[in-house]
Amino acid sequence: MVDSMFEGVMERPKAVVLDQAMLQDPSGPVVREPSDANAVIRVEDVHRYYDLGETRVHALRGVSLAVERGGFVAIMGSSGSGKSTLMNMLGCLDRPSSGRYLLEGTDVSKLEKAELAVIRNRKIGFVFQGFNLLARTTALENTALPTLYTPIDKEERARRAAEALAMVGLANRADHYPSQMSGGQQQRVAIARALVNRPAILFADEPTGNLDSRTAVEIMDIFQTLNDGGLTVVMVTHEPDVAQFAKRVIVFRDGKIRKDECVSARPRASDVLKTLPTLDD
Ligand code: ADP
Ligand code: MG
């Protein structure tokens, strides 16, 4: 397999022609652009370069997209296509090299790191493939971690953490340590931690990558329920089976959007779970 590091270094004029052809002939239902008032995320012609000494990787090559409040987007694409680069920017962990990113109407593309951190803490929840929980810390304490940077007192912190754990169905595991929980439970703690500051958007980069298929659907059940409650969700996934639980699927290739379609006949994860065997079976 070609190392993704080298992908995007060389110009590919043919790919540009293909791109335009695909845009003229969309093969699925067209995604309606949200109005400015309704867009939580608005990305305008964003490029991201990584400078590696002599070479320069062009990881995002003119990406524009808008996500409306209450949207549920799955981002797909092969390894090295720019998904994580985009997610890091959307999640305010990184800035674009050029172009604009408006988060709830505010241009955050030129903010300094410290300012980005404030926005991130206030508006964004992030879930990663590796759960990144602190080992010697209970589920409740892990969940409460992001509140340490907010001006709320200890009782309120614990209250919000308990509330977030309840949202992911783990109210009865508050005192458990990560080693005492399954992978799926640990991922649910990571989701609770991402929710504890009541973000406007939940980002998840391969949230089911380390999980068996039933547990993956359980995580999608939680995402769908949160999304039903109005939370905007943007996730990266390799698996088409996982992507179909979103309302919209965006496919990346070579740092560009190649496809952007609504999901028709979206399954409910709770229905799918009824058809899947449980671990005890
Ligand atoms: P994906 O998440 O779709 O696998 P990435 O966004 O991680 O893709 O990577 C897109 C391109 O940018 C790849 O060519 C990758 O090697 C390169 N890249 C990603 N992060 C860095 C970095 N920190 N430094 C240099 N190149 C990077
Ligand atoms: Mg990635």
pLDDT in tens, 163-213: 999 999 999 999 999 999 999 999 999 999 999 999 999 999 999 998 999
Q: CA–CA distance from 224 to each of 22, 77, 216, 239, 265 (Å)?
A: 30, 22, 12, 17, 14
State residue 9's pLDDT score. 39
Q: Are 87 and 43 in contact (CB under 8 A)?
A: no
Instruction: Give the ligand with the smallest distance to the CA of 254.
Output: 1
Pocket test for ligand 1, best of 47, 85, 86, 250 (most atoms within 8 A of CB): 85
Q: First and final CA of the chain: distance in angstroms? A: 38
Higher pLDDT, 280 or 56: 56
Is the CB of 276 within 6 Å of ligand 1? no
Q: In whole angstroms, what is the distance from residue 124 CA to residue 273 CA?
A: 28
243 CA from centroid of ligand 2 (Å): 15
Alpha-carbon gap, residue 270 to 281, rounded angstroms: 18
pLDDT higher than 50, residue 6? no
Rounded CA-CA distance 20/25 in Å is 9
Beta strand extents in the chain (DSSP E only): 39-52, 55-68, 72-77, 98-103, 106-107, 124-128, 201-205, 232-236, 248-253, 256-262
User: pTM of the full predicted structure?
Assistant: 0.86
Q: What is the percent of the chain where pLDDT is above 70?
A: 86
Domain with residues 4-275, CATH architecture: 3-Layer(aba) Sandwich (3.40)
Question: Is the CB of residue 31 less than 8 Å from the CB of residue 261?
Answer: yes
- Which residue from 1, 2, 4 has its CB within 8 A of the most atoms of ligand 1, so it is best to mutate? 4
> Buried b vs exposed e over 43-65: b needs ≥16 C-beta within 10 Å?
bbebebbeeeeeeebbbbbbbeb
